[in-house]
Amino acid sequence: MELICPAGTPAALRAAVDAGADAVYCGFRDETNARNFPGLNFSAEELKAGIAYAYNHGVRVLVAINTFARAGALDVWERAVDAAADAGADALIIADVGVLDYAARRYPDQRLHLSVQAAAANPDAIDYYVKAFGVRRVVLPRVLSVPEIAAITCDVSCETEVFVFGGLCVMEEGRCSLSSYATGQSPNMNGVCSPASHVHYREQDGQLISRLGAFTVNKFATGEPAGYPTLCKGRFQTEHGAGYLFEDPVSLDATTMLPDLQRAGVTALKIEGRQRGRAYIERVVRNFRRILSELEDGVAAASGDLVALTEGQSTTAGAYRKSWR
Amino acid sequence: MQLTLGPVLYNWQPRQWRDFYFRMAEESPVDVAVIGEIVCSKRSPFFAEHMSAVIERLVACGKQVVLGSLILVSLKRERQQMAELAANTDFMVEANDLTCLGTLADRPHAIGPFVNIYNEATAFYFARRGAQRICLPPELPMESIRTIATALPDVTTEVFAFGRVPLAISARCYHARLHKLSKDNCRFVCEKDPDGLALATLDGEPFLAMNGVQTMSHACANLLGEIGDLAASGVGALRLSPQQCDMVAVARIFRDVIDGKRTYDDGMRDLSVIYPDVPFANGFIHGEPGAVFIPNHASANSRMRQPQIGDAVQ
């Protein structure tokens, strides 16, 4: 199985390459990619240099152009496709049908991957993209169990890629407007979720209160570790009580399920985290490379192998285990 | 401008569901009704027994019937259901994801608000392949709506104009999780909350509403004040999403304001009586947080102004 690693900066790209990635994925420094955070991402020149570095080490580069193009501004997304193709990207990761259509017509030989943001969760939906745009690989939404992934992989006429580590969307990706409901900024339109620009912390009555836009997302007692107020991992209340009603502040760790994913026929494993620093990327990629090497020798990773890397967060195998639902 | 009755998104009692459609068919001024369970496939069998009677009544009352597809299709059984839905040629199908589009393509169909059409290129792609009606995602701002509707004059562009806004869909059932049940053995607890289960912040401020695997806004979308701008932008239909309130009256208010027979101010006042206790929101269309409501003073003034002698020659 290929190891697909995040690169939010040229330094992180080099770190991922050096640590044993089979491919790195990155995006341009604008609204065309779903990690449009300040201080992150690549210019066209940086992408070219990054691709050159990766090639010298036998590593591929995938470029994520995976937000939904703004009406009347298609040219911004089309120029991103042009720049990535021109730089020699091994594949473009796209979610928007209009952008896919452009890329497939303008660059018929360019390898296209369907972004997780397209939310294609079954063989019929996936094959629509394969037939329409010649998509060669689909990144599966984090709503599927491993048996479902196996069935899809068996049924579809393209490769499958799954997330195995890092941030966990609780909602189906590409179909969530929680962030824009509170802040006006969404993953689909702006490439951001629960953006830091709209986060406020304040102390009140011995509690630390985290807010997103006009809404309180969590309250922490003194000494309780305060997580980032991502909406779906906040604490809320109903008439049945208060708590983490959508999901605890967990991250995804599917290392113990790697043998199952391998048997399922999955082509590539993806690590989330383009917003992460170089040191983190280096450690996660190096550990995953070791785990995959051991897997080839028939040694399955133990639970908790990567706990030290999750920065104090607890982890879950998410929807990969059916009981998560 | 048409009015579309969106599908019931909640788990209503089947007889209530049936009677709701009977009454909407006979008394409401909606032009189109999208029906069918689109949120959770486990609920579908309950409504199936009333489906043909509901369709019959809607058709008899002159409403165009459109059948909605599931938002999130992952099980084999669900794919089979969608294949059967797409195979029907009696009624237009509204695709809420791309699962049945392979079958629907090249014959007239509708696309629902859960397919990501954010720009005119994507809308044009689907229109060329048979999409005749497109209900845009609720988070789109007015500029995007205008650009898409203007670029596709032959397609009926629709916007989500009333009802709690569907904000997210998940594989996980929050209703079941809240009641400490597994999704497979959920006992259909979502039926206890036919208008959504209120979810508040830890400050007690109402924020969202749970609807099984779907998460909705607490606030109720209300684009009454944007009707003029939407019509001028080429929008051809407004979607009214069923809530636990007098939806016949809601439809009449929208119809009257569209036709200039009721002022914006009167419409707003009447709506807040019909659906009290839930704030209105229209932030998305103004590029603001979706929960925000921006009153339309300009609309209020222009609509309250009575026609004057001499208007015609100005």
Q: In this predicted model, what pLDDT tens digit does every residue of A3-40 receive, in sequence order?
A: 999 999 999 999 999 999 999 999 999 999 888 888 89
- Residue B229: inside a domain, yes or no? yes
Identify which of A74, A216, A232 has the shortest CB distance to residue B202.
Answer: A216
Identify which of A97, A235, A319 has the shortest CB distance to residue B125.
Answer: A97
Is B12 in contact with B24 (CB distance < 8 Å)? no
A213-222, B43-52, B301-310: which range is least confident on average?
B301-310
- Residue B40: inside a domain, yes or no? yes
- Residue B183: inside a domain, yes or no? no
The per-residue b/e assignment along B155-189, b for 16 or more CB within 10 angstroms, e otherwise, is bbbbbbbbbbbbbbbbbbbbbbbbeeeebeebeeb
- Residue B210: inside a domain, yes or no? no
- Kindly list the distances between the CA atom of residue B163 and the CA atoms of A45, A49, B118, B212, in Å, as whole numbers in the listed order: 47, 50, 21, 17
- Residue B156: inside a domain, yes or no? yes
Determine which of B202, B210, B293 to mutate to test the interface with A (most A C-beta atoms within 10 Å): B202
- Residue B134: inside a domain, yes or no? yes
* Residues from chain B contacting residue A240 (CB–CB below 8 Å): 178-179
- Kindly list the distances between the CA atom of residue B122 and the CA atoms of A188, B69, B116, B236, in Å, as whole numbers in the listed order: 14, 20, 8, 18
DSSP A69-121: PPTT-HHHHHHHHHHHHHHT-SEEEE--HHHHHHHHHH-TTS-EEE-GGG---
pLDDT score of A217 more than 60 = yes
Which three-class secondary structure string do you get for B167-187?
EEECCCCHHHHHCCCCCCCCC
pLDDT score of B301 more than 50 = no
Portion 3-62 of B in contact with A at CB < 8 A: none
In angstroms, the CA A117 to CA A96 distance is: 8
- Assign A308 a pLDDT band (cuts: 50, 70, 90): low
Residue A185 pLDDT: 96
Q: What burial class does residue B154 get, using C-beta atoms within 10 Å of its C-beta: 0-12 exposed, 13-18 middle, 19+ buried?
A: exposed
Identify which of B114, B183, B289 has the shortest CB distance to residue A181.
Answer: B289
Tell if the CB–CB gap between A180 and B284 is shorter than 8 Å: yes
- Assign A307 a pLDDT band (cuts: 50, 70, 90): low
pLDDT score of A1 more than 90 = yes
Domain span at B276 = 2-165+215-313
- Residue B207: inside a domain, yes or no? no
Average pLDDT over residues A313-324: 80
Q: Whose structure tokens read 């932008």?
A: B233
pLDDT score of B307 more than 80 = no
Average pLDDT over residues B60-64: 98
Is B303 in contact with B259 (CB distance < 8 Å)? no
Portion 126-165 of B in contact with A at CB < 8 A: 126, 137-140, 143-145, 147-148, 165
Say which CATH topology domain A2-168+250-324 has.
TIM Barrel (3.20.20)
Is B189 in CB contact (< 8 Å) with chain A?
Answer: no
pLDDT score of B312 more than 80 = no
**Based on the structure, what is the number of domains in chain B?**
1
- Residue B182: inside a domain, yes or no? no
Q: Whose structure tokens read 């994913």?
A: A261
Q: Report CA torsion sign: B296, B299, B302, B306.
A: negative
Domain ranges of chain A: 2-168+250-324, 178-243
Q: Residue B152 maps to which CATH number? A: 3.20.20.70
Map residue A243 onto helix, strand or coil.
Answer: strand
pLDDT score of B302 more than 50 = no
Is A158 in CB contact (< 8 Å) with chain B?
Answer: no
